[in-house]
Structure 1
């Protein structure tokens, strides 16, 4: 079963969501990568349903079907966590008919999870290619690329166009200006999402649930191993693990930042299935 619907956030904004499976099962929320639409995770969501879960995917404000206007001033990465993810968790808690809630975060999904005001309702979280945005954890030519993005490409394109065009950051969809500017702010700061904000530091340290981080060896531009490890260390949980995968581990030539969720790599999904079932 699959159903599209809208969820109202605390500030009145509506975000688009999709529910997979049947009520009463443990629920997995999928928190997407920057610029990715919820439809990208559909096959993966169906695999979780087959393993006995129900699943909710959603588009952050300013993305996909949650777009009202590109320059919506409320569209920011902070609001993706504090408002959007909070609203989704609330919806699941009220409508899922099962108190067991899990999170699978892709990329920025791991950065914004602690910002959700009701994160304590989540039992365990699995993060794929979730990294600090801080440029201090990139090396070689990839570091030059992110420095150019944060300091030249992003400021120039957002000033000229009022958004971050997809070609400017290598994504599939344009990003709202507020999202792009905050992303760059995190990227230029040594602490990434934490900035120098004691409240954010506290929010990360408060997370005390099982966590599993996966980094991908050929994902050097968007989520290199050191950047994933830094985000891993920012979380306070004592029950956490980080695994670094190589494409050759699965007989693949490449996986990259988005490859985990592609149908041809579905054998990797068993790791998520088995790990989540430990905590049901």
Structure 2
């Protein structure tokens, strides 16, 4: 028998309907994982990784934040979503949904990029017994490396503020990410945080940073200039009660670059067992 994938709808904490995919293993190991995706990244991009975890016995919930993927407003109408909505209403509701579907399980989260930062806004993060983040840095332009600093500064001070005021949805390819479109209000929020690190953290809420007191494994990607090791370390110092372990992943000789989004590609499956082993033993 193969992993069962159930498409489901659940309500954010303010009642906004959201869409998710629940991966149900053939034989459960008693552990359940919430996968919090990167900015603008539809949940379908994590299908291979979610199936990989489910094959090892984990129940996995992937979901789309409001305004993205399957959680876009009906008819494609404009939506004024904010990062605070995502961090304080959407993400905690996804965790509530996972808990309701897997009573008695042990709960974990995997956060990718902005999805790792958003965990810091969730007031119910104390439900978790372990967190893994991938390429989750501060998002501030000055914490980037090399030419990426200039790219982020230009985006944050010029391109995104302009685009966010003239279009309803911003193609996230503008920032070089492998994502889809996001609501203009989200792009403006992100740009504000890119200019001001404190504002970026505050935009999505802070409750989870203080609430979580368990182990946390943070992966920095060596060839990701937007969230280098120093930026990843800076973000995770916000988890003041967590026991943080920082690891770095570097592409092998001859391997395609990994970057901020490549970890979850199926051709990088060789990178996945390390986090799986950690989730299975935490």
* 1:4 matched residue in structure 2: 7
* 2:280 matched residue in structure 1: 277
- Please say if 1:37 is aligned against 2:42: yes
Counterpart secondary structure, 1:42: helix
Asked if structure 2 preserves the Cα contact closer than 8 Å seen for 1:134 and 1:191, the reply is: no
RMSD in angstroms over aligned alpha carbons? Answer: 2.0
Matched residues in 2 for 1:268 and 1:195: separation? 32
2:231 aligns with one of 197, 209, 227: 227
* 1:177 matched residue in structure 2: 184
Q: How does 1:1-280 map to 2 (within 5 A)?
A: 1-22=4-25, 25-68=30-73, 69=76, 71-73=78-80, 75-171=81-177, 172-191=179-198, 193-195=200-202, 200=206, 203-220=208-225, 222-248=226-252, 252-279=255-282
Q: How far has the Cα of 1:234 moved from its partner?
A: 1.6
Q: How far has the Cα of 1:119 moved from its partner?
A: 0.9
Q: How far has the Cα of 1:175 moved from its partner?
A: 1.2
Counterpart secondary structure, 2:104: coil
Matched residues in 2 for 1:28 and 1:20: separation? 10
Q: How far has the Cα of 1:136 moved from its partner?
A: 2.2
Asked if structure 2 preserves the Cα contact closer than 8 Å seen for 1:218 and 1:254, the reply is: yes
Asked if structure 1 preserves the Cα contact closer than 8 Å seen for 2:123 and 2:211, the reply is: no
Counterpart secondary structure, 1:219: coil
> Can you give the 5+ residue segments of structure 1 that lack an aligned partner in the other structure?
none
Matched residues in 2 for 1:110 and 1:214: separation? 11
Asked if structure 2 preserves the Cα contact closer than 8 Å seen for 1:70 and 1:163, the reply is: no
Alpha-carbon displacement from aligned partner over 1:24-63 (angstroms, at most 9, x marks no partner): 6311110000010001111111111111111110001000
Asked if structure 2 preserves the Cα contact closer than 8 Å seen for 1:134 and 1:192, the reply is: no
Counterpart secondary structure, 2:197: coil
Asked if structure 1 preserves the Cα contact closer than 8 Å seen for 2:33 and 2:61, the reply is: yes
Asked if structure 1 preserves the Cα contact closer than 8 Å seen for 2:140 and 2:193, the reply is: yes
Change (3 A) 1:203 1:51: closer
Alpha-carbon displacement from aligned partner over 1:5-40 (angstroms, at most 9, x marks no partner): 111112111111001114963111100000100011
Alpha-carbon displacement from aligned partner over 1:103-142 (angstroms, at most 9, x marks no partner): 0000011111121121111111000001111122123311
Aligned residues: 274
TM-score, structure 1 normalization: 0.91
Matched residues in 2 for 1:193 and 1:241: separation? 23
Alpha-carbon displacement from aligned partner over 1:168-210 (angstroms, at most 9, x marks no partner): 223441110111111111111133533499x72x641332110
